[in-house]
Each structure stands twice: as structure tokens, then as C-alpha cells.
Structure 1
Amino acid sequence: MVCFAVGLLAASQNALAAGADCSNATDQASMTACADKALKASDAQLNKTYRALLAKSSAAGKQKLQAAERAWIAYRDAQCTFNTLGSAGGSVHALAYASCATGLTDAQNEVLNAQLHCEEGDTACGSQ
């Protein structure tokens, strides 16, 4: 029964986000749904950049990138859990967590994008 309720909640948030005006969200449910939508978009962009960088990387670079990204995901999750500890158990927690994760995901996308577009021969370029 709990799984059904969680699934129903997720489905209703997705439906809400699809219909919500995220530029003018004013109620908690809409703001949370919009934050979740923003996180999904940020994560999709990060995955796109990661796949492009992985394809460009040498064999050694691929291994290091995969290890770094696994470690980064663990860092992001732990950092956002810490950052949002004050809202844990509250109605704003999902919004706070999604906002934290979106910010860190956007920053990581910038890091990977810089690696993707660095100059050949740049010794700070991990994909080589």
C-alpha cells in the first residue's frame, strides 16, 4: 500500500509540474513540482554532457571520469542531505533538497562541459 501511495504521489507531482506555471508558482505543491522538474532537466543535461565527455575520453580517462562521477553523485547526495537537514520531515523538504541538488548538478555540468571543450594539449584536461 505504501508503494502505491508513493507512486500516486509521484504521478500527481509530475502531472502538477506539467500543468504548473513554474515562473509564477505560489503554492507549496506547485513549487515542489517545479523544483523536481528543474532537477530532472538539470540531471538530463548533465547526463548528456557526461556521455559526450565519456565518448571523447581516452581509455584511462573513461575510467577516471566514471570513478569521479560516482564519487560526485555520492558527494551531491550527502551534501544536500546535510544542507537540508533543517527542513527534514517538513513540507518544504522536497523543494529544498531538489533546489540544492539542482544547484550542484548545474555546477557539475559546467565542470564537465569545460572538460569537454578544453584545448587539445591542455594538461588540465582530464579526457586525454
Structure 2
Amino acid sequence: MKRLFILATPFLFVGIRAHAETIDCKNASDQATLNQCADLDYQAADKKLNETYSKLLKKVSPQGKPRLQRAERAWVAYRDAQCEFQTSSPTSYSAQPMIHLYCLSRLTEAQTKLLDEQLHCAEGDIGCGQQ
């Protein structure tokens, strides 16, 4: 059953994005809309993360690039596992997708902040990674 949900999810999100302009997330009152709004929040957070990561990847030294890539892959695995753990339940419930997406958003925003700090660190800052 879980596998079917994962396969169906991309199709759901395509529909969500297509109708994003009609969703009033500030006044959402039903769970389906709340789930859609959580997806929109996550998509925005993920987009910003990818933009920040791409900028940092261009900036780091040749020696730092594979380390950054390895760290980011490890972070994605951590984020996914952490959110899976936080939202796991013996039975599914209607708010589960929303809670899972908010977890993804929260951790993604925190990682974006960390990468942005690396992107804008002062020259000579030895705690700033492979700049």
C-alpha cells in the first residue's frame, strides 16, 4: 500500500502546482487543502535550497566540491529518514502528508540557512569549509 502512495504522489503534486494560484492557504479549512499548502511550502523551500546549494557548489574549491556533494547527499538521507521517523504511525491519518511535508520544509529551511552561511562567510574564516 505504501508503494502505491509513493507512485501516486507525483501525480498529485502536479495537480497541486497546476492549481496553486487558486489555493487560499491563509484560509485553508479542510485537510486536503492543508496538505496542498504544505506541499507548496515544501516545494518553495526545496527550490531555495537547490539555488543556494548550486551557488555554493560553484564557489567552493576543487577539493571542497566532492566533500560538499557527499555532505549534501548524506543530509538528504538524514532529512528523509528523520521525517519518516517523526511521522510514522501504525495507521495512516489524514494529516500525515501535511505533517511529513512540514517536517521536510523545516529541515530544508535549516539546511538552506547553513549553506547560505557557507556561501557568505568572511574571507579567511577557517570554520567556513572549503572556500
TM-score (norm 1): 0.89
1:68 positional shift: 0.3
Structure 1 unpaired stretches of 5+: none
Q: Tell me: CA distance 1:88–1:103, structure 2 relative to 1, closer, same or farther (3 Å).
A: farther
The secondary structure found in structure 1 opposite 2:92 is coil
The secondary structure found in structure 2 opposite 1:58 is coil
Percent identity of the aligned residues? 46
- The RMSD of aligned alpha carbons is 2.1
The secondary structure found in structure 1 opposite 2:93 is coil
Q: Deviations over 1:70-97 (max 9, x none)?
A: 0000000000000001385222111010
Q: Does 1:35 align with 2:38?
A: yes
Structure 2 unpaired stretches of 5+: none
Q: Which deviates the most, 16-25 or 55-64?
A: 16-25
Q: Does 1:84 align with 2:87?
A: yes
1:25 positional shift: 1.1
1:39-78 alignment runs, 5 A limit: 39-78=42-81
Runs of 4+ in 1 over 2 A off after TM superposition: 5-18
TM-score (norm 2): 0.87
